[in-house]
Amino acid sequence: MCEPRHFDVAYAINPWMDPAGTVDRSLAQAQWTALVDAYRTHGHTVETIAPVPGLPDMVFAANSALVVGGRMLGARFHAPQRQPESGAYLTWYKDAGYQVHEPAEVCEGEGDLVPVRGLVLAGTGFRTTRAAHEEVRRHFGLPVVTLPLIDPRFYHLDTALFALDDGPEGNIAYYPGAFSAEARATLAELFPDALLATREDALAFGLNSVSDGRHVFVAPQATGLVCRLAERGYVPVPVDLSEIHKAGGGIKCCTQELRP
């Protein structure tokens, strides 16, 4: 994770961002710290990277890479404003002992790549390219399922879908309206028991959540999703990142998972 010390909305690269608006950096910092505390309270280890001045979106650590089975694939950002983040994150991964692999195609890490049930669900349409999906398949040796996104408000896969749990019976939650008809059919076939979210909960960043298989760290504004998670036996852990929502990200965007 990367603290929002330099967080701002200084440009617009998704529909959520309004450079004419105001940002309360101290509130963003307090909300981010609450998320770190929530992870640690529930038994998780949090590593941090130092934020770099001039990179306001570096707080969105999930976009930095995909790490599965100890293997790492870095990021190549679509927007010029974010491209310098790649080098800062690659240095962190190298120093942490990872063998760094840089993609040749535009690939925005866990923003568009969700491992579940031995697959990698891969978004495309706004950021990560279809060609990058083939790089992911070759690098990790895992089947990759391409899922076209069609609504610019859900420009990354992790704004519209998250893994509830892993393992042979791994399941997901998602908002169907974010996906093409082809992708909706694929998801319905692969995950017939998926938790389907409403547009209201998706717009409240409810799908930008992190689950450890029991606890689901979720935006409290997604009230319907919170109730449905509880009905299915999960333990919702509401964490408000409303200030960070102004840049188009939430809990998952701030969280890069390091899978051993």
Q: How far is CA 70 from the centre of its chain?
A: 19
Residues 117, 93 contacting (CB under 8 angstroms): no
Q: Which of 156, 215, 245, 254 is catalytic?
A: 156
Place of tokens 């330099």: 6
Residue 22 and residue 127: Cα distance in Å, rounded? Answer: 26
141 in the Ramachandran plot: left (φ > 0), alpha (ψ -120 to 50) or beta? left
Q: Where are the beta strands (DSSP E) in the chain?
A: 65-68, 71-74, 113-116, 119-124, 144-148, 161-163, 172-174, 195-196, 210-211, 215-218, 235-238
Coil/strand/helix, residue 181: helix
List the one residue out of 255, 165, 169 whose CA is nearest residue 214. 165
Respond yes or no: is residue 78 known to be catalytic: no
Respond yes or no: is residue 156 known to be catalytic: yes
Residues marked as catalytic = 156, 253
